[in-house]
Amino acid sequence: MAVLVGKPAPSFSAKAVKGETIIDDFSLEQFIGNKYVVFFFYPKDFTFVCPTELHRFQEELAEFEKRGVEVVGCSTDSEFSHWAWLNTPKEKGGIQGVQYPLVADINKTISASYDVLAGEEYVNEEGAIAVDGELVAYRGLFLIDKDGIVRHQVVNDMPLGRSIRECLRVVDALQHFEENGEVCPMDWQKGDDAMNATHEGVSDYLSNN
């Protein structure tokens, strides 16, 4: 698994769906210099764990927006599958009401560039291309700063849903560091004491906590 933290987020241009609109050339580069991005991958449309995550991101969308964060989802489904899922009511397993963009990685190239693509292609004994497993995305999540640099990543296996609260906590920690120059210790929450990255700063923090 590639570690992208500290590196520019892989660029791409792909079809995406936002609400009722299909976008032909969606790219994260439009947010550089203006917004942070939480870019998350999920395995498949019309499945079971995935809609719980997509609805939860929507429920917390205002919290991300308050922090200047654009939420963007991605799977290896087509834009037409995304559109159909977005137009299916929640009580029928759909994600109607989700307002952030969903990228269509139908060629698997985006998942591959972020190194979250499950399955593996190989040439079998007959010389034909075969696949071990399914070529779908793991539950990868990447926090990208305003300079387009990945500052946080986490990848879950497909049965394991993520924590939106943890995602928001990491956004808060990054923004606290950028604004105050203080580093954030384990389990830090917005409003908690942070520390200066010096021996004295650590000592002061530990003596007060």
Sheet strands side by side (includes 36-41): 21-26, 14-18, 102-104, 69-75, 36-41, 139-144, 150-156
What is the spatial distance between Cα 144 and Cα 109, in angstroms, rounded to a whole number? Answer: 19
| β 14-18/21-26 pair status | antiparallel
What is the spatial distance between Cα 59 and Cα 61, in angstroms, rounded to a whole number? Answer: 6
What is the spatial distance between Cα 120 and Cα 132, in angstroms, rounded to a whole number? Answer: 5
The verdict on whether 167 is a catalytic residue reads no
Specify whether the CB–CB gap between 166 and 153 falls below 8 A.
no
Among candidate residues 50, 74, 167, 184, the one labeled active-site is: 50
What is the spatial distance between Cα 56 and Cα 165, in angstroms, rounded to a whole number? Answer: 10
Positions annotated as catalytic residues are 50
